Amino acid sequence: MVIPIMETTPILARDLAALGQVSESTSLESVLRGITEAVARGVPGCAGCTAQLWSEERTLLAASHSELILLTDREHAASQGPSREALATGRLVVIPDVMRDPRWSGYAATAVRHGIRSLLVLPVKVREGVVVLVGMYAVRPGAFTPGSPLLALLADQVTVALTNIWEYDDVLTGAVQLQEALAGRSVIDQAKGIIMQAGGYSPEEAFEELRRVSQHHQMKVADLARLLVSEHQNKKKA
């Protein structure tokens, strides 16, 4: 039997490229779902796809079909199967025909019950400690070619998409922290003015007094400043 070559289709290339476009609504979960949808729709002979993200913090799973979630859950419960093998070794795992493969007989039986005859699991090391496993499943034997250029493209696009999310999150976090720092500086200046007016302090002395009281009460200077400004404004309203 001649095994067909897995080619990159225009639809697949377009959908994979779109995964790298990040917005506020983008999440790890949405990217994983996008991977499964793009692969299931765009890879010739592929009937379904799973995407698993493994890290020290958590494990995420997305699938194009609910049957594949059940199959993956069965594999996790047994702690053995193609995905576990790919995760442990960091190498591509291909099963040309699950009915003829001697490994993981329990997994094979479940796969056959769901109509799966061949599969491929591609491990993608996105960064240190983070691996994404992309699983492709077909209803006929010999659907996937291990040396296909499509696999390199897929690995690159998965890495780009997830890296973009983390970089976008870093930018948002930095912007929030800067905004909080500016807001904190403003309220501290207001609190210093209140202390200067009440006690005849210089700006430096007012800040030192604010810092001394915050340390005594085990509070952040900015939090104490907000409390002082709030109390001052309430007294003015009374």
Tens-place pLDDT, residues 136-168 = 999 999 999 888 888 888 888 888 888 876 665
Domain end marker among 108, 143, 166: 166
For the chain, how many structural domains are there in total? 2
Residue 5 maps to a domain:
no
Question: Do 178 and 118 fall into the same domain?
Answer: no
Distance CA 238, CA 183 (A): 26
Q: What pLDDT, on the 0 to 100 scale, is given for residue 175?
A: 45
Beta-strand (E) ranges in 13-172? Answer: 48-54, 59-63, 93-95, 118-127, 130-138
Residue 131 maps to a domain:
yes
Count Cα neighbours of 32 within 13 Å in the Cβ-side half-sphere: 20
Average pLDDT across each block of 10 residues of the chain; the chain has 238 residues. List them in order.
Answer: 52 76 74 90 92 88 93 91 95 95 91 95 91 95 87 87 69 50 68 82 81 80 80 74
Neighbours of 197 (CB within 10 A): 11
The residue segments making up the domain with residue 202 are 172-237
Question: Do 63 and 113 fall into the same domain?
Answer: yes
Residue 63 maps to a domain:
yes
Distance CA 26, CA 24 (A): 6
Question: Do 130 and 216 fall into the same domain?
Answer: no
Going by their DSSP bridges, the two strands 118-127 and 59-63 should be labelled as unpaired
The model's pTM is: 0.67
Residue 3 maps to a domain:
no
Residues contacting 226, CB < 8 A, separation 6+: 187, 191
Residue 84 maps to a domain:
yes
The pair of three-digit structure tokens given for residue 78, joined into one six-digit string: 């047994």
